């Protein structure tokens, strides 16, 4: 059981770090006018467990904070994930 917990924790740290980084990369690309990371990819990262990292990246890089579907969608995903976690692992 400890191995499963450790793997899960490493996964969550990694996916949240990825969410934070891709928000920064997309912001930098937006500034340069370069090819962007799709919004679907940003949301997919959040849905795969990286919602907290995406939210922190949005705030840190001041990116996508004016789009209502990011402003409310990312926190909604996080709330659902926390509720699922609490229900499954209590």
Where do runs of H (alpha helix) occur along the chain? 2-32, 39-45, 51-61, 68-71, 73-88
Residue 4: pLDDT above 90?
no
Confidence of residue 2 (pLDDT cuts 50, 70, 90): confident
Mean pLDDT of all residues in 20-35: 97
Phi, psi of 72 (to 5 degrees): -105, -25
Residue 5: pLDDT above 90?
no
Rounded to an integer, what distance in angstroms lies between the CA atom of residue 37 and that of residue 79?
Answer: 24
Of 10-14, 20-24, 42-46, 61-65, minimum mean pLDDT range? 61-65
pLDDT digit string (tens) for 29-59? Answer: 999 999 999 999 999 999 999 999 999 999 9
Mean pLDDT of the chain: 95
Which residues fall within 8 angstroms of residue 61, CB to CB, at 6 or more apart?
23, 24, 27
């Amino acid at each position: 059981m400890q191995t499963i917990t450790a793997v899960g924790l490493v996964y969550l740290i990694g996916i949240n770090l990825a969410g934070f980084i891709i928000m920064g990369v997309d912001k930098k690309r937006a500034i340069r006018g370069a090819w962007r990371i799709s919004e679907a990819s940003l949301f997919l990262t959040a849905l795969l467990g990286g919602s907290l990292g995406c939210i922190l990246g949005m705030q840190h890089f001041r990116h996508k904070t004016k789009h209502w579907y990011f402003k409310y969608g990312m926190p909604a995903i996080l709330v659902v994930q926390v509720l699922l976690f609490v229900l499954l692992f209590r």
